[in-house]
Amino acid sequence: SQQGEEDPQALSIQEGENATMNCSYKTSINNLQWYRQNSGRGLVHLILIRSNEREKHSGRLRVTLDTSKKSSSLLITASRAADTASYFCATGKGNKLVFGAGTILRVKS
Amino acid sequence: GAGVSQSPSNKVTEKGKDVELRCDPISGHTALYWYRQSLGQGLEFLIYFQGNSAPDKSGLPSDRFSAERTGGSVSTLTIQRTQQEDSAVYLCASSLGRDTGELFFGEGSRLTVL
């Protein structure tokens, strides 16, 4: 079974709004990462947060990690049409990076 | 090129045929991963190579699947006697080291088994 599960499965918002995606996982991790995938393309790394970190920022991205609840959230502020993509969380333990099923984000202009 | 390169980008084959998918990782990356992504799904881990260590093959779905990595660089994923359920995008990724840090993905090889 997959380690990470994203919520919601799909999200549709207007340009300029914020988008929040959540990820839950089941076992202990070394780190949690978020990736983005445009349709028909490979995945692009967005941000990595280690298990001893609680929050991390990168540009318009903000990631939080709550290891007690085994959950993470990705916030994209001031969304743009170009942010339309699938977003995946991935949890790292040992030599494997296990991906969730992803959230499809659509930003309408 | 500077990124992970995969070939072919598209492959259509008949059921029962063998296929080979190639991955050329970023130079200097010691870790290499293969994942499979079915339509609209997440990524399914297949196999992991790290340097000269024995690969982690725990994700390979059947003995029809195998992979090798020659000289610590290029990797080939082979699927024998393909079945329709093998149809998917096969993604390769590489990273710098042993810990699960940032992965750099190729654009994938889309396999269609008729």
Paired with B88 in beta bridges are B111
Mean of pLDDT values over B19-30: 95
Residues 6 or more apart in contact with residue B23 via CB below 8 angstroms: B4, B5, B6, B32, B34, B74, B75, B76, B77, B92, B94, B106
Which residues of chain A have a CB within 8 Å of the CB of B105?
Answer: 35, 42-44
Q: How confident is the model at residue B60 (pLDDT cuts 50, 70, 90)?
A: very high
| β-pair type (A10-14, A103-108) | parallel
A97/B33 CB distance under 8 A = yes
| DSSP states along B9-25 | SEEEE-TT--EEEEEE-
Q: How confident is the model at residue A54 (pLDDT cuts 50, 70, 90)?
A: very high
Paired with B95 in beta bridges are B31
Region of poorest pLDDT, from A55-59, A69-73, B40-44 = B40-44
**Strand B75-79's sheet: what is its strand order?**
B5-7, B19-24, B75-79, B65-69
Interchain contact B10–A (C-beta under 8 A): no
The pLDDT tens digits of the residues spanning B81-93 come to 999 999 999 999 9
Mean of pLDDT values over A14-21: 97
User: Residue B60 to residues A29, A47, A78, B54, B104: CA-CA distances in angstroms?
Assistant: 22, 28, 41, 14, 21
B105/A96 CB distance under 8 A = no
The half-sphere exposure of B74 on its side-chain side, counting CA atoms within 13 A, is: 7
CA dihedral A58, A61, A66, A71 (to 10 degrees): -130
Interchain contact A94–B (C-beta under 8 A): yes
pLDDT value of residue A2: 45
The pLDDT tens digits of the residues spanning B11-24 come to 999 999 999 999 99
Strands (E), chain A: 5-7, 10-14, 19-24, 31-37, 43-50, 55-58, 61-66, 71-76, 85-93, 96-99, 103-108
The rounded mean pLDDT for chain B is 92
User: What amino acid is encoded at B16 in this protein?
Assistant: G
Which residues of chain B have a CB within 8 Å of the CB of A41?
Answer: 107-108
pLDDT value of residue A5: 82
| A103/chain B closest Cα distance in angstroms | 10
- Whether residue B99 is predicted with pLDDT greater than 90 in this model: the reply is no
Q: How confident is the model at residue A96 (pLDDT cuts 50, 70, 90)?
A: confident
User: What amino acid is encoded at B2 in this protein?
Assistant: A
Exposed, middle or buried, B21 (CB in 10 Å: 0-12/13-18/19+)? buried
The pLDDT tens digits of the residues spanning A65-92 come to 999 999 999 999 999 999 999 999 999 8
